[in-house]
Amino acid sequence: MVELRPGSVFGDYRIERVLGGGGMGTVYAARHPRLPRVDALKVLSAEHGDDVEFRTRFAREADLTARLNHPNIVAVHDRGVAEGRLWIAMQLIDGTDAAALLRRGALAPERALRIVEQAASGLDEAHRAGVVHRDVKPANLLVESRAGQPDRVLVTDFGIGRGAGGTVLTATGTVLATLAYAAPEQLAAGAVDARTDVYALGCTLYELLTGAKPFPRPSAVAVMHAHLMDPPPRPTDLNPALPQAMDDVIARALAKRPEHRYRSCGALAGAAAAALGMDEPVVQRYGGSAGGNHDRTAVASAGRGVPGRRGLIVAMVLSVAVLGTVVAVAISSHRASGGGTAATATTGATSSVADPASPWGGYSYIAQAFPALLPSAPESAGYQSIHCAALDSDSRPADIGVPATGSNLLSCGGNKNPVYLLTVRCNADRSAMDASELDAKATSVGDQAWRRGSASGQVRWGDMPSPAGDPAGTVAVSFDDAAHRFCRLVAYGGTSGQDLFDRWWQDAPI
């Protein structure tokens, strides 16, 4: 990505310095062409200039934020196109964000509550305007510290926000979210509404109070599974000084079913205040954002790109495609089209060769092992309309343009008729994969050997709850034939293990 140089002119703005950068673009401190001020100027990277999805998301950020007029929502001053690149201008001030504050550990409960209450005020205003943020997290809560006054908090980064009721899908059918704070309905590609932001704000409150994310797990898949299946954590386990009532607040905010959560972010903040014995709203006690005409500003940070300076943070999060940032869950970076070749079993290789003839690149060995089950390309649909994307050996979004090594995964979302999640894990060196075991939360229903043509192995199925808590099932498939023994499959869905076995496994094209 080519950065603009200090002193150069871009869109009539004179660039002064780089403030930060990431996957989508770079943010600069830039002098306004006609007014005596310096703005934060976010410029979409040239490499994404022709990507319709990136351009649409970038433009939506300005459109949505400009519609919102609230002292706890960052303001956008202008947007445009210069030299073929999109830009957004925001006012900047000295400040930091809640994620930077967390680098020093958990916050004092009263300060955490101040941040959450003001964020809730801004989010509820967005919801009243019909906008769901969809990516609430500490890094998107800007904090301005003022001498002798309480923190001022502004919500930023509406780049993946949309109207309530729809899902946020990429062109490949994958879900945009920040995994550490993503609600179950986001991960299951379901409809989202204000309660999706309640869930994420609950995750944020938990982290502010404990210094830890609610579901710390070793891989992206494990984090997703925890959001979908595991009970909400108790903040008192990590911070015993908190009142036990806070456990109940977090449990309700992080309920798997949206209807079991608080109906608004303000209701969550009010419950947290009551649990902490601070029933009077902090924003009122401290003269915060409950009303009045504040000078709404975006905060820009050199702290993300220029070490050693007092924290200034950009009003939008720029990094993509890593765990803990905005990611397309298991999004593929390879967008070529074309077909694969027939699967062949080989042994002794140390890695999977990136196949330039296949849209799956280095992951073509997985797709080719199950050509009738898996989609022929990241943009395509497979059996029963599943869409898949690649994760590497650490279960992070993978670059399929390079050879795959170790154990790799295609993670596939289904249409819930009956599969809502299918994982296909294979060893790149074609070494035999351990037998698939049922999920630890599943109750075993059946276990039998199977054979279909030249393919054979073992299948196990059992009952376990769905992400929403409804009855569902899982099926685990392992292989002992040479063409597939380096892979294993696990499916989730249906109304029970037997239902999933009958409606998916019996006819699955293996």
DSSP per residue, 410-428: EEEE--SSSEEEEEEEEET
Element counts in the chain: helices (H) and strands (E): 12, 22
- What's the CATH number of domain 99-139+156-293+318-328, 1.10.510.10, 2.20.25.90, 1.10.3720.10, 3.40.50.1220? 1.10.510.10
- Sequence letter at residue 490: V
Provide the strand spans (E) within 66-187: 78-82, 85-91, 96-97, 131-132, 141-146, 149-155, 162-163, 176-178
Q: What percentage of residues in the chain have a pLDDT greater than 70?
A: 74
Q: How confident is the model at residue 351 (pLDDT cuts 50, 70, 90)?
A: low
pLDDT reported for residue 19:
79
Helix locations, 211-315, DSSP H = 220-229, 235-238, 245-253, 265-275, 282-285
Say what the pTM is: 0.57
Q: Percentage of residues in the chain with pLDDT exceeding 90? A: 44
Strand, coil or helix: what is 97?
strand
- Would the pLDDT of 465 be above 90? no
Neighbouring C-beta atoms of residue 231, cutoff 10 Å: 10
pLDDT category at 239 given cuts 50, 70, 90 is very high
Catalytic residue (choose from 39, 97, 124, 135): 135
The C-alpha atoms of residue 70 and residue 152 are separated, in whole angstroms, by: 13
Q: Tell me if residue 463 is catalytic.
A: no
Amino acid at 395: S
Amino acid letter, 14: R
Q: Which residue has the higher pLDDT, 259 or 343?
A: 259
pLDDT of 246 strictly over 80: yes
Is the CA virtual torsion 369, 370, 374, 380 positive or negative? positive
| Beta pairing class for 149-155 and 96-97 | unpaired
Q: Where are the domains of the chain?
A: 99-139+156-293+318-328, 351-507
Rounded-to-integer distance, Cα 229 and Cα 289, Å? 36
Let me know if 349 is exposed, middle or buried by CB neighbors in 10 A (0-12, 13-18, 19+): middle
Q: Among 3-7, 22-26, 49-53, whose mean pLDDT is lowest? A: 49-53
Q: 399 exposed, middle or buried (CB, 10 Å; 0-12, 13-18, 19+)? A: middle
